[in-house]
């Protein structure tokens, strides 16, 4: 693949087994529209086809990781335009869930509204400790419908309603307490913290990790009984898969 690709919404770069997807609209707080969603899906699909890609890192240029969505025709778009945007958003989520490699969010800027959902689609998230998070939709006469679908399993109801009803922003330490991110580190240490994760992920058996990642997202919405039934089939697949049970990369 090319070392660097860019359009007016999203850029991608590749080095040392890591595909970096960067939201590239700092003038619009890196809000994502259908073109950006399609670019993210294309990059994820490329990772599924290219064995040299071992990890994906998602980040944003400028002051925002992602400031939310930008539906077609916003703010006065038609119902058809809004529906098309919502469908594209769901397709992006599903593509990220089906990805064979781990996805890490590098949150170097503020993350609000639809950005919270994008971050939640990533397996791991590391944030600079001076960024802010939030669901501000209520302050604009809206409610975070798409984000709500992700917030329900992530936060206790009392915490969720406190945040969703107020629309207030909160800091990285609070996001860590709510388990929305894995780590909050000083800005100067952000890249090192992300690299620690990517180095660890690259060192593991990629076949097992890819199969396990897909199994996790497949089992997440199931009942406990269905998960156990699925797990039996998954275990047989894992044991029979070529390339599992081998010594990980960079390990003796």
pLDDT of residue 231 exceeding 60: yes
Collapsing DSSP states into helix, strand and coil, what is residue 63? coil
CA distance 224 to 228: 6
pLDDT tens digit string along 106-152? 999 999 999 999 999 999 999 999 999 999 999 988 888 877 887 78
Which of 175, 177, 117, 110 lies closest to 146, judged by CA? 117
* Least confident span in 3-12, 68-77, 224-233, 241-250: 241-250
pLDDT of residue 30 exceeding 60: yes
* CB-CB contact of 145 with 127 (8 Å): no
- Cis amide linkage into residue 75, ω under 30° from 0: yes
CA distance 29 to 9: 11
Q: What is the pTM of this model?
A: 0.88
The band of 1, judged by pLDDT with boundaries at 50, 70 and 90, is very low
pLDDT of residue 223 exceeding 50: yes
How open is the CA angle 230-94-115, to the nearest 5 degrees?
A: 130
CA distance 135 to 30: 16
Q: Kindly state the tokens that stand for 101.
A: 């490699």
Question: What integer pLDDT is reported at residue 246 of this predicted model?
Answer: 53
pLDDT tens digit string along 206-218? 999 999 999 999 9
Which of 181, 61, 50, 193 lies closest to 122, judged by CA? 181
pLDDT tens digit string along 39-94? 999 999 999 999 999 999 999 999 999 999 887 756 666 677 778 888 999 999 99
CA distance 67 to 50: 30
Question: What integer pLDDT is reported at residue 6 of this predicted model?
Answer: 56
pLDDT of residue 4 exceeding 50: no
31, 131, 132, 200, 239 from 194: Cα distances, Å:
23, 16, 18, 10, 31
Burial of 79 (0-12, 13-18, 19+ CB in 10 A): exposed
Please indicate whether residue 101 or residue 151 has the higher confidence score (pLDDT). Answer: 101
CA distance 82 to 84: 5
Q: Kindly state the tokens that stand for 123.
A: 């397996």
């Amino acid at each position: 693949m090319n070392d660097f690709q860019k359009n007016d919404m999203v850029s991608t770069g590749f080095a040392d087994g890591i595909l970096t997807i960067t939201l590239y609209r700092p003038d619009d707080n890196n809000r994502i529209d259908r073109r950006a969603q399609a670019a993210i899906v294309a990059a994820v699909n490329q990772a599924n086809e290219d064995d040299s890609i071992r990890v994906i890192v998602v980040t944003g240029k400028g002051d925002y990781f992602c400031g939310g969505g930008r539906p077609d025709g916003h703010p006065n778009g038609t119902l058809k335009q809004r529906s098309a945007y919502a469908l594209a958003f769901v397709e992006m989520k599903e593509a990220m869930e089906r990805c064979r490699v781990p996805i890490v969010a590098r949150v170097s800027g503020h993350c609000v509204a639809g950005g919270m959902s994008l971050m939640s689609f990533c397996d791991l998230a590391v944030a600079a400790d001076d960024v802010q998070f939030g669901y501000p939709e209520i302050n604009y006469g809206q409610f975070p419908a798409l984000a709500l679908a992700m917030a329900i399993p992530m936060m206790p109801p009392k915490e969720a309603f406190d945040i969703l009803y107020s629309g207030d922003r909160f800091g990285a330490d609070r996001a860590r307490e709510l388990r929305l991110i894995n780590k909050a580190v000083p800005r100067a240490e952000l890249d090192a913290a992300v690299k620690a994760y990517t180095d660890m992920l690259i060192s593991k058996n990629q076949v097992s990790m890819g199969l396990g990642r897909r199994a996790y997202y497949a089992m997440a919405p199931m009942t406990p009984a269905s998960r156990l039934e699925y797990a039996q089939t998954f275990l047989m697949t894992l044991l029979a898969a070529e390339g599992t049970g081998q010594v990980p990369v960079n390990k003796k």
